[in-house]
Chain A
Amino acid sequence: MTRRLIAVALALGLPAIGMAGEYDLTVDRVKIDTGDFVKEGIGYNGSSPGPTLRFKEGEDVVINVTNNLKETTSIHWHGLILPFEQDGVPGISFPGIQPGETFTYRFPVVQAGTYWYHSHSGFQEPNGAYGAIIIEPEGREPFRYDREYVVQLTDKHPHSGDRIMRNLKSSPDYYNRQQQTVMDFFTESREQGFMATLRDRRMWGQMRMMKADIEDVQGFTGLINGKGPEQNWTGLFKPGERVRLRFINSSAMTYFDIRIPGLKMTVVQADGNNVQPVNVDEFRIGVAETYDVIVHIRDEQAYTIFAESMGRSGYARGTLAPREGMVAEVPELRKAPMLTMADMAGHMDHGDMDHGSMNHGGMDHGNMSDGAMDHSNMNHGSMNHGSMDHGSMNHDSMSQGGMDHSAHGAGMPEDPFYASGSGLLPTASNGGKFLSYSDLRAQSPLYEEREPTREIEMRLTGNMERYEWSINGVKYEDADPVVLQYGERVRFKFVNETMMTHPMHLHGMWSILDVGAGKWNPIKHVISVAPATTVYMETEVDAPGEWAFHCHLSYHAAAGMFRKIVVEGGPDEEVASGDAQAKGGDA
């Protein structure tokens, strides 16, 4: 929209409104000290994270990036709407920045909000090459605050990105230290009965799947603005102030559940776009997502910003305090969730499954208070898992078949963005409100609502045992680009057939997440898709060129969950071909 306005302004011969801001970034080898370990890494202007870039909506920016590494680098401006050759994806947008070379990015800033930048080369981003972007809006913001902080999270690992990828390929559970043990078996047997526990193990064992398969890479230290839990990044405030926190998840692999015990958070922006304010106690931030929240702090005391990894294997911690050095209690990590059969839906063909013979009698609904539904008491012994064929499961027919999850009642929350009965369904630690995608509504719609011109199905696929990740069963190297036509409105259907959550990121164009709110559907740049769910998003195809589309988990993208998107046509094509003809005429 804004871009169109600028175009219109230019067409009318109005004076250029943009001011030009010039920025210099160097890409350097740096030392990263997490408090737990010190590691060689990659940073910008000598530090990791790099400097926070502040742009103003409407300005034209010039960013000179000098590569001081011995390898090729690149910077991708995550979430920014810009000409494709400024997008910074080597091999798609441009060739990359060679060692010693300075590459100049130039693009108009046509949006406002919280974004970030990172390397799109190899595993430089997990190794530390990331930073924050704040864009001041041209107009007034629909919310008030007295001060603001960037809260940029990452999952810094003692191993280099290359090493992690190699280890995952050698043994996909290399970093998983939350697997079920013999001890767990005994504990569970006591609680749920020996036979039930045995059946549960047998069922998962038969499928060669793990209930603990939630986080591929554990063993990291969670950082906030480059500081580990012990180093305790602190943001100061004066009692009575409203503080805007710009949360950015720059992790390679880690989803975080964020809370600030003692404070309600008002979510005002998601992925840089204003949303109708929602008050929450806790929210989950997918990899590469951003959320802006405002906290109104009345008391003169310290508050802990606690960001627990989704699999509860690690955390990042910071503090909001009236004075430097004040700390608040740091909560304990909660118990690690386990996947359930519901999260495995993509792996099952329920055609063969006789729901009638499932023994629901053993399921203790009364005990299901923590939101994590436990199927282990279900008699799956009579389910024929051996002949399960994957991918054709239908949740609706499942509930008709007598497995009615909605009836599990007892205060168990339902959320369309998680499979019914999913082990991943989050709950707030204080029993309060946990943000769901369903709560997000655009503050003001960016696009007029219209019917999509077509639907493209993207099945998110993989083989965990081999650590292979793909889309529609095809890895990037074997896939043809997805071709879109300029001017289309495409509806994407994401069907997650794996047992992992994938944050899907489309470059260059907005992802309009379908939460069923019509023109109020929120506009995002990352859409997180939980296991065994189907999520829709729509895209106004308004950016010609070649773009990347991929899972933002670094090692999933590198293993093949990646596509090139080609947008054909567009107003420039005539101009360009006219240009070419003119040149041809000259010759």
Chain B
Amino acid sequence: MRTCNPWLARISALTLMGPAVVLADEAIDANSVNAFWGVSAEKFEYRYSDSDEKLAVIESDAWYGSDELKFRWQFTGEWEEAHNAWETLENQFLAQTPISEFWDAKAGIRIDTPEGPDRVYGVIGLTGLAPYWFEIDTNLYVSDEGDASVDFEAEYELLITNYWIVSATFETLLAFSEDREIGVGKGINSTEMGLRLSYDLIDRSFSPYVGVVHERKYGDTADFARASGGGTEDWFAVVGARLAF
């Protein structure tokens, strides 16, 4: 029989103190979780333009890391059906860290390998939540050709109900110098505005949507587009889904 005398138990406890000290680091692993991951596709859609252009568009994001440091891989692709080619094919590899309560800074590289000339860029950016729930993402790119540009994206979600959600997006690209080879002119290049109505069908993992997107090119960029036989303004009907795992 064992009488569990508290004194005896405590003495044996103290003889265990050695191992307990060794355990100090393990304690961190055992009682809090430090690394997480996520995979999502904010856009996974098909676009039909009023001029009969058909595009498949993917914008996806995979991340791994801690509260202090995350690694992201962001993939953006636009497949044009008529040309049977990637009009946009972009991979960004980024490290991201918080700089304030609502904002993260990020840095890394972007590798563009669409049809035509490739580009590699250095990226620094800012992402976070602005007052009134605007999600903002903005980046400065410097290409291997020495050209600098800035993009800016804002998104706002309007809850019709807790499952029916309208999201409004705005994107723009501004270049500080011309890179004629890839059709980038100096100044404001383009804007894209989107409005999508989605429904959370399975949790927030699968949310099909329909919507409209308006794309417009400006200035020299528009001229380049016209010169290569493209349009400068398009309305698209979109159908797709938001995915998250």
Contact = CB atoms under 8 A, between A and B. Distances in A.
Interface of A: 3, 6-7, 10, 16, 18, 20, 60-62, 83-86, 89-92, 94-96, 106-108, 110, 120-121, 159, 165-167, 169-171, 174, 177-183, 202, 205-208, 219, 463, 465-466, 468, 475-477, 544-546, 548, 550, 557-560, 562, 564, 570, 572-573, 575-576, 579
Given A95-B26, A208-B131, A572-B10, A106 B32 contact: no
Contacts of A477: 28, 32, 34
A557 B36 contact: no
B181 interface: no
Interface of A is mostly: mixed
Contacts of B11: 572, 575-576, 579
Contacts of B98: 466
13 contacts: A20-B1, A62-B4, A83-B6, A91-B28, A92-B23, A95-B23, A108-B5, A169-B38, A174-B204, A208-B133, A476-B31, A477-B32, A557-B32
B6 A6 contact: yes
Interface string B99-134: 001100000000000000000000000000101110
B40 interface: yes
Contacts, number: 161
B14 interface: yes
A572 to B, nearest CB: 4
Contact of A170 (B15, B16, B38): B38
Contacts of A60: 2-4
Interface of B is mostly: mixed
A76 to B, nearest CB: 11
A180 B162 CA distance: 8
A44 B228 CA distance: 70
Given A91-B26, A182-B158, A548-B31, A572 B7 contact: yes
Contacts of B227: none
Given A3-B6, A6-B6, A562-B31, 19 more contacts: A18-B4, A83-B13, A85-B9, A85-B20, A86-B9, A91-B26, A95-B26, A108-B4, A108-B9, A110-B6, A170-B244, A179-B162, A181-B160, A182-B158, A182-B160, A208-B132, A465-B101, A572-B10, A573-B14
B69 interface: no
A550 B129 CA distance: 29
Nearest to B164: A181
B30 A96 contact: yes
A18 B3 contact: yes
Contacts of B161: 181, 183
B16 to A, nearest CB: 6
Nearest to B158: A182
Nearest to B130: A208
A167 B132 CA distance: 23
The range of chain B's interface size is: 35 or more
Contacts of B163: 177
B19 interface: yes
B99 to A, nearest CB: 12
Contacts of A120: 31
A575 B32 contact: no
Contact of B132 (A18, A202, A562): A202
Given A107-B4, A170-B38, A545-B13, A476 B131 contact: no
Contacts of B1: 20
B12 interface: yes
A61 B4 CA distance: 8
A417 to B, nearest CB: 28
Contacts of B13: 83-85, 544-545, 572
